[in-house]
Protein backbone atom coordinates (compact mmCIF):
# COMPACT_ATOMS: atom_id res chain seq x y z
CA UNK A 1 0.00 0.00 0.00
CA UNK A 2 1.29 3.47 -0.90
CA UNK A 3 2.10 5.63 2.09
CA UNK A 4 0.40 9.05 2.13
CA UNK A 5 2.63 11.77 0.74
CA UNK A 6 4.01 14.01 3.46
CA UNK A 7 4.26 17.76 2.98
CA UNK A 8 7.71 18.38 1.41
CA UNK A 9 10.23 20.20 3.53
CA UNK A 10 11.57 23.51 2.36
CA UNK A 11 14.58 23.20 0.07
CA UNK A 12 17.87 23.15 1.94
CA UNK A 13 20.26 25.45 0.01
CA UNK A 14 23.28 23.63 1.45
CA UNK A 15 22.31 20.25 0.00
CA UNK A 16 23.05 19.26 -3.57
CA UNK A 17 20.33 20.06 -6.13
CA UNK A 18 19.30 17.19 -8.37
CA UNK A 19 20.57 17.53 -11.95
CA UNK A 20 18.16 18.54 -14.70
CA UNK A 21 18.16 15.37 -16.77
CA UNK A 22 15.45 13.90 -18.94
CA UNK A 23 14.69 10.18 -19.33
CA UNK A 24 15.76 8.55 -22.60
CA UNK A 25 13.57 10.24 -25.19
CA UNK A 26 14.57 8.93 -28.62
CA UNK A 27 11.65 7.24 -30.41
CA UNK A 28 11.08 5.98 -33.94
CA UNK A 29 8.25 7.47 -36.00
CA UNK A 30 6.05 4.40 -35.50
CA UNK A 31 6.43 4.56 -31.71
CA UNK A 32 5.11 8.13 -31.62
CA UNK A 33 1.62 6.67 -32.05
CA UNK A 34 1.75 5.49 -28.42
CA UNK A 35 2.83 8.99 -27.37
CA UNK A 36 0.01 10.65 -29.32
CA UNK A 37 -2.56 8.48 -27.53
CA UNK A 38 -0.92 8.89 -24.11
CA UNK A 39 -1.03 12.68 -24.56
CA UNK A 40 -4.83 12.37 -24.37
CA UNK A 41 -4.88 9.71 -21.66
CA UNK A 42 -5.29 6.56 -23.77
CA UNK A 43 -3.27 3.35 -24.11
CA UNK A 44 -3.18 2.24 -27.74
CA UNK A 45 -1.25 -0.39 -29.69
CA UNK A 46 -1.04 -1.27 -33.36
CA UNK A 47 -3.65 -3.74 -34.61
CA UNK A 48 -3.37 -5.37 -38.03
CA UNK A 49 -6.54 -4.89 -40.09
CA UNK A 50 -5.76 -8.00 -42.14
CA UNK A 51 -5.18 -10.65 -39.47
CA UNK A 52 -6.14 -8.85 -36.24
CA UNK A 53 -2.74 -9.26 -34.55
CA UNK A 54 -1.99 -6.81 -31.73
CA UNK A 55 1.70 -6.02 -31.77
CA UNK A 56 4.40 -4.40 -29.69
CA UNK A 57 6.89 -2.84 -30.19
CA UNK A 58 5.46 -0.70 -33.01
CA UNK A 59 6.60 -1.57 -36.54
CA UNK A 60 5.96 -0.54 -40.10
CA UNK A 61 4.49 -3.96 -40.98
CA UNK A 62 2.56 -6.70 -39.17
CA UNK A 63 4.86 -9.27 -37.58
CA UNK A 64 2.36 -12.03 -38.43
CA UNK A 65 1.30 -11.41 -42.05
CA UNK A 66 3.57 -8.49 -43.09
CA UNK A 67 0.58 -6.31 -43.94
CA UNK A 68 1.11 -2.55 -43.67
CA UNK A 69 -2.57 -1.98 -42.82
CA UNK A 70 -1.89 -1.17 -39.16
CA UNK A 71 -4.17 1.01 -37.07
CA UNK A 72 -3.79 2.31 -33.53
CA UNK A 73 -6.57 0.92 -31.33
CA UNK A 74 -7.35 1.39 -27.59
CA UNK A 75 -6.34 -1.46 -25.27
CA UNK A 76 -7.71 -2.50 -21.89
CA UNK A 77 -4.16 -3.12 -20.67
CA UNK A 78 -5.18 -6.17 -18.66
CA UNK A 79 -2.55 -8.86 -18.36
CA UNK A 80 -0.33 -11.07 -16.21
CA UNK A 81 2.85 -9.88 -14.49
CA UNK A 82 5.41 -12.54 -15.43
CA UNK A 83 8.43 -11.19 -13.55
CA UNK A 84 9.66 -8.12 -11.69
CA UNK A 85 13.02 -6.63 -10.77
CA UNK A 86 14.34 -3.60 -8.90
CA UNK A 87 17.15 -1.46 -10.31
CA UNK A 88 19.70 -0.28 -7.76
CA UNK A 89 22.27 0.89 -10.30
CA UNK A 90 21.85 2.65 -13.65
CA UNK A 91 24.13 4.24 -16.21
CA UNK A 92 21.34 6.61 -17.25
CA UNK A 93 21.63 9.97 -15.49
CA UNK A 94 17.86 10.41 -15.06
CA UNK A 95 17.30 7.05 -13.37
CA UNK A 96 20.52 7.28 -11.37
CA UNK A 97 18.99 10.23 -9.48
CA UNK A 98 15.79 8.26 -8.71
CA UNK A 99 16.91 4.76 -7.68
CA UNK A 100 15.65 2.27 -6.65
CA UNK A 101 13.29 1.77 -9.60
CA UNK A 102 11.02 -1.22 -10.25
CA UNK A 103 10.45 -2.80 -13.67
CA UNK A 104 8.35 -5.78 -14.75
CA UNK A 105 7.47 -7.98 -17.72
CA UNK A 106 3.74 -8.17 -18.48
CA UNK A 107 1.98 -10.41 -20.98
CA UNK A 108 -1.21 -8.70 -22.13
CA UNK A 109 -4.39 -10.72 -22.61
CA UNK A 110 -4.40 -9.40 -26.18
CA UNK A 111 -1.05 -11.07 -26.92
CA UNK A 112 2.09 -8.88 -26.70
CA UNK A 113 4.60 -8.93 -23.85
CA UNK A 114 5.74 -5.55 -22.53
CA UNK A 115 8.47 -4.20 -20.28
CA UNK A 116 6.81 -1.70 -17.91
CA UNK A 117 7.54 0.54 -14.96
CA UNK A 118 5.82 -0.87 -11.87
CA UNK A 119 3.62 1.06 -9.47
CA UNK A 120 4.65 0.61 -5.84
CA UNK A 121 1.41 -1.23 -4.98
CA UNK A 122 2.10 -4.01 -7.49
CA UNK A 123 3.48 -6.98 -5.63
CA UNK A 124 5.64 -9.83 -6.83
CA UNK A 125 4.89 -11.98 -9.87
CA UNK A 126 2.72 -13.71 -10.82
CA UNK A 127 -0.37 -11.51 -10.47
CA UNK A 128 -2.92 -9.65 -12.57
CA UNK A 129 -2.08 -6.06 -13.47
CA UNK A 130 -3.42 -3.29 -15.69
CA UNK A 131 -1.02 -1.51 -18.05
CA UNK A 132 -1.51 2.17 -18.82
CA UNK A 133 0.42 4.72 -20.88
CA UNK A 134 1.72 7.96 -19.38
CA UNK A 135 3.98 10.74 -20.59
CA UNK A 136 7.37 11.02 -18.89
CA UNK A 137 9.31 14.23 -18.27
CA UNK A 138 10.62 14.18 -21.84
CA UNK A 139 7.05 14.18 -23.16
CA UNK A 140 7.31 10.62 -24.50
CA UNK A 141 5.02 7.70 -23.71
CA UNK A 142 6.07 5.11 -21.15
CA UNK A 143 4.13 2.05 -19.99
CA UNK A 144 3.23 1.56 -16.33
CA UNK A 145 1.91 -1.52 -14.58
CA UNK A 146 -0.88 -0.64 -12.11
CA UNK A 147 -2.59 -2.83 -9.52
CA UNK A 148 -6.18 -3.79 -10.29
CA UNK A 149 -7.37 -2.43 -6.96
CA UNK A 150 -5.45 0.66 -5.89
CA UNK A 151 -5.48 2.30 -2.46
CA UNK A 152 -6.74 5.77 -1.58
CA UNK A 153 -3.23 7.20 -1.77
CA UNK A 154 -2.29 5.47 -5.01
CA UNK A 155 -1.45 8.80 -6.71
CA UNK A 156 1.25 9.47 -4.07
CA UNK A 157 3.54 6.78 -5.48
CA UNK A 158 6.95 8.46 -6.11
CA UNK A 159 7.34 6.90 -9.56
CA UNK A 160 3.85 7.99 -10.61
CA UNK A 161 4.42 11.55 -9.41
CA UNK A 162 7.45 11.68 -11.68
CA UNK A 163 5.08 11.09 -14.62
CA UNK A 164 2.34 13.52 -13.56
CA UNK A 165 1.81 17.04 -12.21
CA UNK A 166 -0.50 16.30 -9.28
CA UNK A 167 -1.28 19.64 -7.55
CA UNK A 168 -1.11 18.06 -4.08
CA UNK A 169 1.31 20.13 -1.91
CA UNK A 170 2.22 22.27 -4.91
CA UNK A 171 2.00 26.04 -5.37
CA UNK A 172 -0.27 27.20 -8.19
CA UNK A 173 -0.92 30.49 -9.98
CA UNK A 174 -4.43 30.89 -11.46
CA UNK A 175 -4.35 34.01 -13.64
CA UNK A 176 -8.03 35.01 -13.40
CA UNK A 177 -10.29 34.59 -10.38
CA UNK A 178 -13.18 36.81 -11.39
CA UNK A 179 -15.03 34.26 -13.56
CA UNK A 180 -17.16 31.36 -12.30
CA UNK A 181 -14.79 28.96 -14.09
CA UNK A 182 -11.76 30.53 -12.41
CA UNK A 183 -13.35 30.37 -8.97
CA UNK A 184 -14.40 26.76 -9.51
CA UNK A 185 -10.81 25.98 -10.51
CA UNK A 186 -9.46 27.54 -7.32
CA UNK A 187 -11.84 25.47 -5.18
CA UNK A 188 -10.90 22.30 -7.07
CA UNK A 189 -7.18 22.94 -6.57
CA UNK A 190 -7.66 23.53 -2.85
CA UNK A 191 -9.68 20.32 -2.61
CA UNK A 192 -6.89 18.49 -4.48
CA UNK A 193 -4.42 19.52 -1.79
CA UNK A 194 -2.62 22.51 -3.35
CA UNK A 195 -0.33 24.18 -0.82
CA UNK A 196 -0.79 27.77 -2.04
CA UNK A 197 -3.05 29.14 -4.79
CA UNK A 198 -2.27 32.63 -6.01
CA UNK A 199 -5.31 34.06 -7.79
CA UNK A 200 -4.93 36.94 -10.22
CA UNK A 201 -7.48 39.73 -10.57
CA UNK A 202 -7.05 42.54 -13.07
CA UNK A 203 -9.24 45.17 -11.40
CA UNK A 204 -8.80 44.95 -7.60
CA UNK A 205 -10.96 48.02 -7.01
CA UNK A 206 -14.04 46.20 -8.31
CA UNK A 207 -16.24 44.22 -5.93
CA UNK A 208 -16.69 41.04 -7.95
CA UNK A 209 -19.00 38.22 -6.91
CA UNK A 210 -17.32 35.11 -5.54
CA UNK A 211 -13.86 36.60 -4.91
CA UNK A 212 -14.65 37.12 -1.23
CA UNK A 213 -15.56 33.45 -0.85
CA UNK A 214 -12.41 32.05 -2.41
CA UNK A 215 -10.14 34.62 -0.76
CA UNK A 216 -11.44 33.37 2.62
CA UNK A 217 -9.81 29.98 1.95
CA UNK A 218 -6.53 29.74 3.92
CA UNK A 219 -4.60 28.43 0.89
CA UNK A 220 -5.66 31.34 -1.37
CA UNK A 221 -3.88 34.66 -1.86
CA UNK A 222 -5.23 37.30 -4.26
CA UNK A 223 -2.60 39.04 -6.39
CA UNK A 224 -3.04 41.92 -8.86
CA UNK A 225 -2.51 40.61 -12.40
CA UNK A 226 -3.47 42.35 -15.63
CA UNK A 227 -2.20 40.40 -18.64
CA UNK A 228 -2.50 43.48 -20.86
CA UNK A 229 0.10 45.24 -18.69
CA UNK A 230 3.59 43.89 -19.28
CA UNK A 231 4.99 45.74 -16.28
CA UNK A 232 2.39 44.18 -13.95
CA UNK A 233 3.25 40.69 -15.22
CA UNK A 234 6.97 41.37 -14.75
CA UNK A 235 6.46 42.62 -11.19
CA UNK A 236 4.37 39.60 -10.20
CA UNK A 237 6.93 37.24 -11.73
CA UNK A 238 9.63 38.95 -9.71
CA UNK A 239 7.58 38.49 -6.56
CA UNK A 240 6.37 34.88 -6.85
CA UNK A 241 7.94 33.46 -10.03
CA UNK A 242 10.60 31.60 -8.07
CA UNK A 243 7.95 29.86 -5.96
CA UNK A 244 5.28 28.79 -8.49
CA UNK A 245 5.13 25.08 -9.38
CA UNK A 246 2.12 25.21 -11.75
CA UNK A 247 0.86 28.11 -13.88
CA UNK A 248 -2.77 27.92 -15.04
CA UNK A 249 -3.59 30.63 -17.58
CA UNK A 250 -7.39 30.81 -17.63
CA UNK A 251 -7.64 34.56 -18.35
CA UNK A 252 -9.58 35.28 -21.52
CA UNK A 253 -11.79 37.80 -23.27
CA UNK A 254 -14.77 36.24 -25.05
CA UNK A 255 -17.04 38.28 -27.27
CA UNK A 256 -19.56 37.15 -29.85
CA UNK A 257 -19.95 38.06 -33.55
CA UNK A 258 -17.69 37.52 -36.50
CA UNK A 259 -16.36 40.06 -39.02
CA UNK A 260 -19.22 41.84 -40.75
CA UNK A 261 -21.63 42.00 -37.80
CA UNK A 262 -19.42 44.33 -35.77
CA UNK A 263 -17.59 47.43 -37.00
CA UNK A 264 -14.04 48.28 -36.10
CA UNK A 265 -11.23 46.24 -34.58
CA UNK A 266 -11.29 47.35 -30.92
CA UNK A 267 -12.95 44.20 -29.57
CA UNK A 268 -10.81 41.89 -31.71
CA UNK A 269 -7.69 43.70 -30.47
CA UNK A 270 -8.81 43.22 -26.86
CA UNK A 271 -9.37 39.50 -27.48
CA UNK A 272 -5.90 39.17 -28.96
CA UNK A 273 -4.36 41.30 -26.22
CA UNK A 274 -5.55 38.88 -23.51
CA UNK A 275 -5.96 35.55 -25.28
CA UNK A 276 -2.73 35.69 -27.32
CA UNK A 277 -0.43 38.50 -26.17
CA UNK A 278 -1.41 37.86 -22.54
CA UNK A 279 -0.14 34.29 -22.86
CA UNK A 280 3.01 35.58 -24.55
CA UNK A 281 3.73 38.09 -21.77
CA UNK A 282 3.09 35.46 -19.11
CA UNK A 283 5.32 32.90 -20.82
CA UNK A 284 8.18 35.35 -21.25
CA UNK A 285 8.17 36.23 -17.54
CA UNK A 286 7.17 33.00 -15.78
CA UNK A 287 8.58 30.49 -18.29
CA UNK A 288 12.28 30.96 -17.39
CA UNK A 289 11.44 30.81 -13.67
CA UNK A 290 9.64 27.47 -14.06
CA UNK A 291 12.43 26.05 -16.19
CA UNK A 292 14.99 27.08 -13.61
CA UNK A 293 13.14 25.21 -10.83
CA UNK A 294 12.21 22.04 -12.68
CA UNK A 295 14.90 19.93 -11.00
CA UNK A 296 14.05 20.83 -7.40
CA UNK A 297 12.57 17.40 -6.63
CA UNK A 298 9.36 17.34 -4.61
CA UNK A 299 9.29 21.15 -4.54
CA UNK A 300 10.09 21.59 -8.24
CA UNK A 301 8.07 23.34 -10.93
CA UNK A 302 6.13 20.89 -13.05
CA UNK A 303 3.36 22.18 -15.36
CA UNK A 304 1.80 24.99 -17.38
CA UNK A 305 -1.92 24.87 -18.28
CA UNK A 306 -3.57 26.93 -21.04
CA UNK A 307 -7.34 27.36 -21.22
CA UNK A 308 -8.01 27.43 -24.97
CA UNK A 309 -11.23 26.50 -26.79
CA UNK A 310 -12.46 23.83 -29.17
CA UNK A 311 -13.06 26.80 -31.53
CA UNK A 312 -9.25 26.96 -31.91
CA UNK A 313 -9.39 23.88 -34.14
CA UNK A 314 -11.98 25.21 -36.58
CA UNK A 315 -13.43 28.73 -36.57
CA UNK A 316 -16.96 29.07 -35.18
CA UNK A 317 -18.35 32.01 -37.22
CA UNK A 318 -20.84 33.29 -34.58
CA UNK A 319 -17.77 33.71 -32.33
CA UNK A 320 -15.36 34.37 -35.18
CA UNK A 321 -12.76 36.77 -33.74
CA UNK A 322 -12.69 34.89 -30.43
CA UNK A 323 -12.04 31.68 -32.37
CA UNK A 324 -9.19 33.38 -34.24
CA UNK A 325 -7.57 34.59 -31.01
CA UNK A 326 -7.75 31.09 -29.52
CA UNK A 327 -6.26 29.58 -32.70
CA UNK A 328 -3.34 32.02 -32.35
CA UNK A 329 -2.97 31.06 -28.68
CA UNK A 330 -3.03 27.37 -29.62
CA UNK A 331 -0.13 27.87 -32.03
CA UNK A 332 1.79 29.85 -29.42
CA UNK A 333 1.12 27.14 -26.82
CA UNK A 334 2.68 24.55 -29.13
CA UNK A 335 5.81 26.71 -29.29
CA UNK A 336 5.77 27.04 -25.49
CA UNK A 337 5.49 23.26 -25.14
CA UNK A 338 8.54 22.74 -27.36
CA UNK A 339 10.57 25.26 -25.35
CA UNK A 340 9.51 23.93 -21.94
CA UNK A 341 10.02 20.24 -22.75
CA UNK A 342 13.84 20.22 -22.33
CA UNK A 343 13.27 21.32 -18.73
CA UNK A 344 10.67 18.62 -18.12
CA UNK A 345 7.80 21.13 -17.72
CA UNK A 346 4.53 19.72 -19.10
CA UNK A 347 2.35 22.13 -21.10
CA UNK A 348 -1.31 21.11 -20.95
CA UNK A 349 -3.77 22.60 -23.45
CA UNK A 350 -7.46 22.48 -22.53
CA UNK A 351 -10.02 22.71 -25.36
CA UNK A 352 -13.49 23.01 -23.80
CA UNK A 353 -16.72 23.38 -25.72
CA UNK A 354 -19.06 26.27 -24.83
CA UNK A 355 -18.85 27.02 -21.12
CA UNK A 356 -22.02 27.82 -19.20
CA UNK A 357 -21.26 31.53 -18.76
CA UNK A 358 -22.63 34.91 -19.88
CA UNK A 359 -21.02 34.79 -23.33
CA UNK A 360 -22.66 31.47 -24.20
CA UNK A 361 -26.04 32.14 -22.57
CA UNK A 362 -27.87 32.13 -25.92
CA UNK A 363 -26.37 28.81 -27.00
CA UNK A 364 -28.52 25.71 -26.49
CA UNK A 365 -27.35 22.86 -24.22
CA UNK A 366 -25.21 20.93 -23.72
CA UNK A 367 -22.80 23.41 -22.15
CA UNK A 368 -19.86 22.73 -19.86
CA UNK A 369 -20.34 23.76 -16.24
CA UNK A 370 -17.52 25.61 -14.42
CA UNK A 371 -17.11 22.76 -11.90
CA UNK A 372 -16.83 20.17 -14.68
CA UNK A 373 -14.15 22.27 -16.40
CA UNK A 374 -12.22 22.69 -13.14
CA UNK A 375 -12.35 18.95 -12.40
CA UNK A 376 -11.13 18.17 -15.92
CA UNK A 377 -8.09 20.42 -15.44
CA UNK A 378 -7.21 18.87 -12.07
CA UNK A 379 -7.64 15.39 -13.54
CA UNK A 380 -5.33 16.31 -16.43
CA UNK A 381 -2.66 17.39 -13.95
CA UNK A 382 -3.06 14.15 -11.99
CA UNK A 383 -3.04 11.94 -15.10
CA UNK A 384 -0.12 13.70 -16.77
CA UNK A 385 -1.79 14.28 -20.14
CA UNK A 386 -1.11 17.09 -22.63
CA UNK A 387 -4.40 17.73 -24.45
CA UNK A 388 -7.86 17.74 -22.85
CA UNK A 389 -11.25 18.11 -24.58
CA UNK A 390 -13.81 18.37 -21.77
CA UNK A 391 -17.53 18.22 -22.49
CA UNK A 392 -19.78 16.52 -25.05
CA UNK A 393 -19.52 19.33 -27.59
CA UNK A 394 -15.72 19.35 -27.51
CA UNK A 395 -15.59 15.57 -27.95
CA UNK A 396 -17.99 15.70 -30.91
CA UNK A 397 -16.16 18.56 -32.61
CA UNK A 398 -12.83 16.83 -32.12
CA UNK A 399 -14.09 13.66 -33.78
CA UNK A 400 -15.60 15.57 -36.69
CA UNK A 401 -12.42 17.63 -37.09
CA UNK A 402 -10.29 14.48 -37.17
CA UNK A 403 -12.62 12.79 -39.63
CA UNK A 404 -12.58 15.68 -42.12
CA UNK A 405 -11.67 19.29 -41.20
CA UNK A 406 -13.09 20.65 -44.46
CA UNK A 407 -16.51 19.04 -43.86
CA UNK A 408 -16.59 20.51 -40.33
CA UNK A 409 -15.70 23.95 -41.69
CA UNK A 410 -18.55 23.78 -44.19
CA UNK A 411 -21.02 22.59 -41.55
CA UNK A 412 -20.08 25.41 -39.18
CA UNK A 413 -20.34 27.98 -41.96
CA UNK A 414 -23.79 26.68 -43.01
CA UNK A 415 -25.61 26.24 -39.72
CA UNK A 416 -23.25 27.41 -36.98
CA UNK A 417 -22.64 23.99 -35.40
Task: Using the predicted structure, report yes or no on whether residue 317 has a pLDDT greater than 80.
Answer: yes
pLDDT at 416: 57
Please tell me what DSSP assigns to residue 2.
P
Would you place residue 155 in the very low, low, confident or very high pLDDT band (cuts 50, 70, 90)?
A: confident
pLDDT at 208: 67
pLDDT at 28: 84
Same domain, 296 and 379: yes
Long-range contacts of 292-295 (CB under 8 A, 24+ apart): 292/242, 293/242, 293/245, 294/20, 294/343, 294/344, 294/345, 295/17, 295/18, 295/19, 295/20, 295/21, 295/344
Same domain, 79 and 178: no
Domain count, the chain: 2
Same domain, 68 and 197: no
Last residue of a domain, one of 104, 125, 157: 157
Angle at 286 (CA atoms; ends 280, 289), nearest 5 degrees = 145
Same domain, 138 and 175: no
Does residue 5 lie within any of the structural domains? no
Last residue of a domain, one of 106, 134, 157: 157
Same domain, 178 and 64: no
Q: Which residues pair with 114 in a beta bridge?
A: 106
Last residue of a domain, one of 157, 187, 216: 157
Task: Using the predicted structure, report yes or no on whether residue 40 has a pLDDT greater than 70.
Answer: yes
Same domain, 359 and 233: yes
Same domain, 175 and 150: no
Calculate mean pLDDT across residues 200-209. Answer: 74
pLDDT at 153: 83
pLDDT at 400: 95
Mapped onto helix, strand or coil, the DSSP state of residue 4 is: coil
pLDDT at 4: 67
Same domain, 260 and 186: yes
Same domain, 198 and 76: no
What is the domain extent for residue 319? 171-415
Give the model confidence (pLDDT) of 104-153 as tens digits.
999 999 999 999 999 999 999 999 999 999 999 999 999 999 998 878 88
Contact in structure between 21 and 98 (CB atoms under 8 Å): no
pTM over 0.95: no
DSSP collapsed to 3 states, 326-383: HHHHHHHHHHHHHHHHHHCCEEEEECCCCECCHHHCCCCCCCECHHHHHHHHHHHHHH
pLDDT at 25: 79
Average pLDDT, the chain: 91
Same domain, 127 and 153: yes
Same domain, 105 and 138: yes
pLDDT at 93: 86
Calculate mean pLDDT across residues 190-216. Answer: 85
Does residue 23 lie within any of the structural domains? no
Task: Using the predicted structure, report yes or no on whether residue 164 has a pLDDT greater than 60.
Answer: yes
CA–CA distance, 277 with 383 (Å, rounded to integer): 29
Count H helices, E strands: the chain? 12, 15
* Alpha carbon 378 to chain centroid, angstroms: 9
Same domain, 209 and 329: yes
pLDDT at 97: 85
Amino acid sequence: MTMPLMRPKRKNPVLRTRQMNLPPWARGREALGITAAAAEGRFELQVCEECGTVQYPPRGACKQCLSTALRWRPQTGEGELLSATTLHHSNDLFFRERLPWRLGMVKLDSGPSLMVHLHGEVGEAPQRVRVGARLDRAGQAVLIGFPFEGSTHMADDPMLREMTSDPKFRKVLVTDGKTPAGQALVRALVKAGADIVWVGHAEPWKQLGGLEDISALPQVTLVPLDLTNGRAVTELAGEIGGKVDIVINNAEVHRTFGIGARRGTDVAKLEMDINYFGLLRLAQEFGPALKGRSADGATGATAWVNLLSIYALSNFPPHGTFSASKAAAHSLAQCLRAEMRPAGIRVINVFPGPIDDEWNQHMPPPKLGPDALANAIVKALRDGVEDVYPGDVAQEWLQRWRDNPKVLERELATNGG
